[in-house]
A and B are shown apart, each in its own frame.
Chain A
């Protein structure tokens, strides 16, 4: 595993089954005692798998009885009151769907809801994108960002000549297994510069240049997870040229469009400039954060190809990946997104709500920065302001994080990543105190 691979924190979270509710009155076959002489299970040799490093944080947080605990682990948006948020437009879309008795729950096609696919693609590419206009595009609805990445990876493992993908260091922890389980080899390219807490641009270009020609290069479209460090437009241009010069295949992970800067178009700029040069690329989109649809698993995989004839064949092969995985995608979340994207009023309102979320996060960055300055916490904390999106890579190390969890009940991943979306005016002071204590080595 790469060096930033996270071990779960000391708090043990076992997968407890819930207490059984009282037995129900129901006709049931009377059960004779099970044969006690049954052979041992064929799965006897299994060990318990470790907690997922990210999702395990929330598990540990939930188990903590301390009232002042703060969850800065998983990247789910929270309001100022610390509550999850269902967007107004989502509520309204759901109400419409519920009221429409003519709607049924039939299977979607294998590649999902056509209307959703079309609008998702236009959202990221722009409706006047050459890929859209020239029909060089295949879009399949998938299970959020994870599912889109996995289906794309499976397709590459079957049909692409270079079975090697390069991930930035660091990256979202789950990226590794997504590509590896699909059958691709995984390597990394330099990305985050520890010293500047910014982009290691030279290192990135060097590694891209050294990668075998035709490699798949995973790029975070905006709001890099976990660092929040994005290339500037000029740097994106340099990256684009480096990738095209080596004949690499760019695979964008777009999980925060609109959520990073507050502008849908601005956050899509990197993707659009790549598509505009006429080359091919993969794009995985998620509506988990920007539409708050997390648990409904809404996403899309788009493949931009050289010609429309290719697009048809690609789509047919995508179906062969999807069918034995889950047959067809879930209808609920995609219906909501299609409604919102397709209705002028809902869409406008969505952009306002989206900007509201992005602005609150940006304001939390400022508040945290100010609080650290006010405490005279040693170090340069401007990276908190420069980084973008849901996360900030604080630069805190594993020991400091464990200290903060133990003494201040701050739950965050061991790589020093905090979810800015989990902060509020109330909790900023606590976090600032915790960081200050951790950095200065003061005891609680």
Chain B
């Protein structure tokens, strides 16, 4: 590592003592950041930090939503490894366009809307590659603020905590609607419809396409249809955050049914897709934002405006992850392999739900636990209180977010009994 070679002329400035007073006025010497307060730790990512710092051998991480295999290890999908071999040594690393890899966008929206979706064949979808799901949501939120500055966003209660941060930083006025019903640990459909009926026309509504985070509670097809009708009659804009397509049920088509239902009803919706979980590409930051428009010219316009927002934020999105996804989705064999691997992940989680529930019942817990298997996707909203969660952490070295959300992907045949036992201990 080259050390700081400094020419003699400048050497006198390299001493650690402050420069002579005449060249640095008093105001500048007090520093500008003294007033900066320490920010609160991120509630989700902070959990993993704490877990890593814990040396107890029995520790369990059911905090952040990243998939683990039955050995508790992160997984790189085989289809991804193969794709990386194909990509290696071939590509240059030139800048992508501001809207990202065109072929990637093309394949992403086909996955979301269906290969032969009319809106795609009519070229009515504006699609840009984004920094995973977060980036897609943020790009849309900034876009919403820019072109519909007086509009509101309606966010379900509860939701992924970062959703609030995103629309707040985009300076969009945020409201909430009821979603989860603690007494049933299921959907509060009446509350949802009541609250959304009060939303003014032109409001945007954030919907989790499948595997709601953090509750795992999804509407049924009929409920989605009713919602779709309400959105139509009341002029509400559906924004789908789809972070778990394929990961929830094991079937990519089934997991997109909410979007397909809304599309059938002619909605012009928008969708944020993430490949973090379903392709295990977390740190590669691969996602896609798509907006359904009236016609192809409008799609061109919208895409160009989205790019205008991306350019002063990061110029153009990262290459590697998008190349992986493109390689997997455009190769029939790799795509088939991907479908299988996604199903394996989804099935393992479903199996762990069953195991956790049966273990709790075996322990004689008097509380209802059927919500564990009724909820879907990576997370289980256990119903545990903050105090109970804190006890789990302090006494049993089990790490989860304080809202009682358990990442089922962190549950294994090796720790499910221990976890059930601990939950029973703090809830009996």
Q: Which residues of A contact B (CB under 8 A)?
A: 14-15, 17-18, 20-21, 23-24, 26-29, 31-49, 52, 55, 59, 74, 76, 83-86, 90-91, 94-95, 98, 101, 103-110, 119, 122, 125-130, 133-134, 143-144, 146-147, 150, 159-161, 174, 177-178, 180-181, 213-214, 233, 240-241, 244-247, 249, 264-265, 269, 272-273, 276-280, 288, 292-297, 305-307, 310, 312-314, 316-317, 319-321, 323-333, 341, 344, 347, 351
Contacts and interface: CB of A to CB of B under 8 A. Distances in A.
A294 B84 contact: no
A38 B266 contact: yes
Given A323-B42, A325-B169, A278 B18 contact: yes
- Of B32, B38, B131, the most chain A CB neighbours within 10 A belong to B32
Nearest to B298: A41
B285 interface: yes
Contacts of B278: none
Contact of A244 (B25, B42, B93): B25
B193 interface: no
A199 to B, nearest CB: 19
Interface string B377-414: 00000000000000000000000000000000000000
Given A279-B24, A295-B318, 18 more contacts: A42-B237, A43-B293, A43-B301, A83-B92, A106-B282, A126-B6, A143-B318, A181-B312, A245-B23, A276-B13, A277-B23, A280-B32, A280-B33, A295-B95, A296-B93, A306-B31, A328-B285, A332-B284
B364 interface: no
Majority secondary structure of chain A interface residues (helix, strand, loop or mixed): loop
B158 interface: no
B207 interface: no
Contacts of A33: 118
Contacts of A31: 114, 116-118, 260, 263-264
A35 B118 contact: no
B76 A105 contact: yes
A330 B98 contact: no
B314 A326 contact: yes
B300 interface: yes
B42 A74 contact: no
Given A40-B294, A144-B314, A247-B25, A55 B3 contact: no
A146 B96 CA distance: 14
A29 B112 CA distance: 12
- Of A23, A143, A249, A351, the most chain B CB neighbours within 10 A belong to A143
Nearest to A132: B4
A233 B10 contact: yes
B407 to A, nearest CB: 13
B1 interface: yes
Contacts of A264: 2
Interface string B117-135: 1111101000000011011
Given A122-B1, A144-B314, A347-B1, A34 B24 contact: no
A133 B4 CA distance: 13
Contacts of A83: 92
B264 A32 contact: yes
B19 interface: yes
Nearest to A305: B33
Interface stretch (B302-310, B341-349, B352-360): B302-310
B93 A295 contact: yes
Interface in B1-46: 1-7, 9-10, 13-19, 23-25, 27-42, 45
Nearest to A95: B88
A325 B313 contact: yes
B208 interface: no
Given A276-B13, A295-B94, A295-B96, A105 B74 contact: yes
Nearest to A103: B76
B282 A47 contact: no
A278 B96 CA distance: 39
B268 interface: yes
B317 interface: yes
Contacts of B74: 104-106
17 contacts: A24-B115, A41-B293, A44-B294, A84-B94, A107-B283, A181-B309, A181-B313, A265-B2, A295-B96, A295-B318, A296-B320, A305-B31, A305-B32, A321-B169, A324-B134, A330-B318, A331-B283
Contacts of A130: 14, 16
A43 B298 contact: yes
Contacts of B23: 240-241, 244-245, 277
Nearest to B6: A272
A259 B229 CA distance: 59
Nearest to B135: A326
Contacts of B15: 276
Contacts of B301: 43, 46-49
A133 B80 CA distance: 41
Contact of B92 (A84, A108, A126, A241): A84
A-B pairs, top 9 by smallest CB distance, nearest first, are A126-B4, A35-B266, A306-B31, A326-B131, A295-B319, A177-B312, A331-B283, A143-B314, A38-B266
B214 interface: no
Interface in B265-295: 265-268, 276, 280-285, 291-294
Contacts of B96: 295
A174 B307 CA distance: 13
Nearest to A320: B39
A327 B162 contact: yes
A46 B305 contact: yes
A52 B266 contact: no
A128 B4 contact: yes
B53 to A, nearest CB: 13
A294 B388 CA distance: 48
Interface stretch (B99-107, B176-184, B419-427): B99-107
A330 B27 contact: no
Given A33-B118, A295-B95, A15 B304 contact: yes
B138 interface: yes
B202 interface: yes
B253 interface: yes
B97 interface: yes
B19 to A, nearest CB: 4
Given A98-B88, A278-B18, A41 B313 contact: no
B321 interface: yes
A1 B144 CA distance: 24
Contacts of B276: 107
Given A177-B311, A333-B320, A34 B25 contact: no
B165 interface: yes
A143 B4 contact: no
Nearest to A129: B4
A373 to B, nearest CB: 33
Contacts of B80: 105
B135 A150 contact: no
B166 interface: yes
Given A150-B314, A313-B37, A28 B162 contact: no
Contact of B39 (A27, A297, A319, A330): A319
A295 B316 contact: yes
B337 interface: no
Contacts of A272: 4, 6, 10
B111 to A, nearest CB: 10
B97 A55 contact: yes
Nearest to B97: A55
Given A52-B307, A143-B131, A296-B318, A86 B93 contact: yes
Contact of A276 (B14, B97, B320): B14
